[in-house]
Structure 1
Amino acid sequence: MKSIFSVSAIIIVLVFGGLSASAQNPDFPWPEGKKMAISLSFDDARGSNPDPGATLLNEYGVKATFYVVPASMESDIEGWKMVVETGHEIGNHSLYHPCSGNFAWSRDRALEDYTIARMRKELSDTNDEVERLLGVRPEVFAYPCGLSFVGKGEETQSYVPLISEMFLSGRGWLDEAPVDPYYADMAQLTGMKMDNMSFEEILPIIEAASENRQWLVLAGHENGTEGNQTTYLSMLRKLSEYANDPANGIWIAPVGTVAKYVKEKRTAMEGNLNIPGISKPAANGNIYLTSEKGRGIGPDIQYMPEWNAFGWFMAKDRVEWDMNLPKKGSYEVWMEWSVSDEEAGKPFLLTSGDQTIKGVIKPSGSWETFQKIKIGELTLDEDFNRIVVASGQEFDKGALMDLKALTLVPAKK
């Protein structure tokens, strides 16, 4: 329970669902003190993208990402060369735009008939063709129709791992929330619709993303004044003016530019972020349940990145860890914690399913001194398991402990 690290809860607003979840991390460090990032993106290489689309954006110095199908560019190669020369990003949107055969127009290139190998070849061929036509090789990808599977029934497979391997990022379509820069899978960036929407309709989404320091990736198609799947020029003008106003704290840049920045920052901050996730056994068989991957739940508990531990652990707080195990096994449970002599002596409970380990938090020497001891054993099932650490009784003053980690060591037979 050391002096509290200055953190702000980052609220992930699911704009259409009204739900939220919190993470205890510092505000994401956008460049030059900006509050958020916006990326404009357009799919299919529509004829209106170079002009008036890119032409309008160039008036404001705004650069976008254009995810292209190479064959669609051939009627206006000079226009597309202008798009590249003026600093916009070209992304891969596949060779033939395969979608589900549920769409009659896609029946001859149905994703249900694809394999991972076929998709890999076509995406590579797309990169080659874009490079031949425009002299640039795409680093980013957008899923046609927002669909990320190949095959059908029992043979269905995700091709997200392929995109993760081949590209810096992959963008979806018709998603319901901006990108959380701390958590997002770069191969599954959320793309939110901007077609057929006014600036006034999009502004609340921008404001919510700004408040929560998120990355808003907007996705559209045509550029014009009317028509289906059209991002209105009037909206783009207002959005560009709004983004260019320093008072609004917006960094507007292509998807690839923002993705590289986010990856660099996440790498630099690795080990100091609380991003709950599934833990798996390490190569030595141990399972390391670090505070970075735990979920702190309760009114007072805080993740403290300077100590890589959960502090302000009060009676109504708890920490949860989730695991996936390849097989059932028994494990010794080692806990790493700290507590002052004055606060020591409170009971704790560790539970997993119907198993419970009870103990008392012994003195570690100080809040700054961490100790690690074996507290008991558990038998964990194959596949999903959850471990919960909580107080063993109610108390009004002081704190339970600062909890750094659990280590599960395979029990000797």
Structure 2
Amino acid sequence: MNYKKISIASVAVGMFAAGAAFAQNAEIATWSGFRKGAASFTFDDGAPSQVSDAAPVFDKYGYKGTFNLVYNWNPNWSGFQGMADNGHEIASHSNSHGQNMSGEEASSKQNINGKIKQKYGIITVAYPNCNVPNESAVKSNYIVGRICNGSWKGMSDEMGKDGPSNWAQTPATMTGAEGQIKSTNDFTGRMQKVIQSNGWAAFLTHGFQGKNNGNATYSPTDLGAIEGALKWAKENDKDIWVAPMGFVAMYIKERNASKIEPQDGGAANTMTFELKHSIADNISKYDYPLSIKVKTDWTKVEVTQSDAKLESKVDGGYVYFDAVPNAGKIVVKNANAAAESSSSAEPPASSSSSEPAVSSSSTTALPMQSLDGRHLAAYVDASGYITVQNAQGLNITVFNSLGNVVRTTKGIGMLQKVYTGAKGMYVVKIGNRAWTMNIK
């Protein structure tokens, strides 16, 4: 089965009206979106063509890769920073690209972190010449360490749903002239295998045929073959999850460590629970969203986490949504019941107060900005809260008029209140987009 199942029969204990839901269980997906398999495309050596040619192809299909940089080779830092801003993962490939990077595990991470700013920092390392350095140092500094073909070490080239047996030796199959994977059919064949096995495949590419590859001259790959693979993945998106190596590793570790805890006091037409794990945040903050489904008879729901609305859908007797571990209570409400209650309620008595009511028309929406295919917005709502829209998974920072940071948080829902405070001007930054607004 394509999920981790946790019984939460105690979540729903009240008597519901006819046709209402009685929650029986919740499930954490093996892979994001309840897909059947996962694939990661990794790129070594920081080739100029990875910025100029590969990134646009990935962005065209809405997918992201992992790009492993050699610090001393002084790659196009601004170009790779732009890729990080757009959701790609930037990782370490050592300081010097010697035969073995032992002694550079921590320093290369620190050096590249000084050049590239991204949500999780540098959490992935790919070993030069496929030689495994000090495993203890790798595991102290990174979530995942990548080797080359698993078959070169007597291992499988594909991984199961729980990843490698040793996270310091995560296999990726070489592509291109010297590799096993050369054509679109080779890529898609490997992805089809992991769909069938509920597993994970990773690919290792350097430069591209006929492109400006800088130092990445080994085993050039046909970029058209990769584009064909991404097109196929898009057509089969319900089955294959394409994501950076570090993100897939984080998802696996969180999924295996997480549990769903029902909360007491749930009212009729409401299910409340928390998604928790106890993974130490010594390398990075483990808050990658996990995909969840909850069994329900309701046909229309509203899902929130810490009062922020989450995108959700109801299909086949389940409500589906993504939630962040350790980010607060998750509440699933029967939206039909709420609508019926609202329509049948008595109209409120008129108030004799001289204070005027605050109208929703006082909400001032600022222009939307696009980032990574989504439309972001930020505004001050009628109650005086700075509110953001469509910022799921992005870093949010609020600055006051003096330039001081007054709030940092992470987007966890389609609509999220992030700050209220003294009257004045504020700047809200979501990812690398910014808005200026006034709390009156």
TM-score by length of 1: 0.49
TM-score by length of 2: 0.46
Higher relative helix content: 1
* Larger gyration radius, structure 1 or structure 2: 1
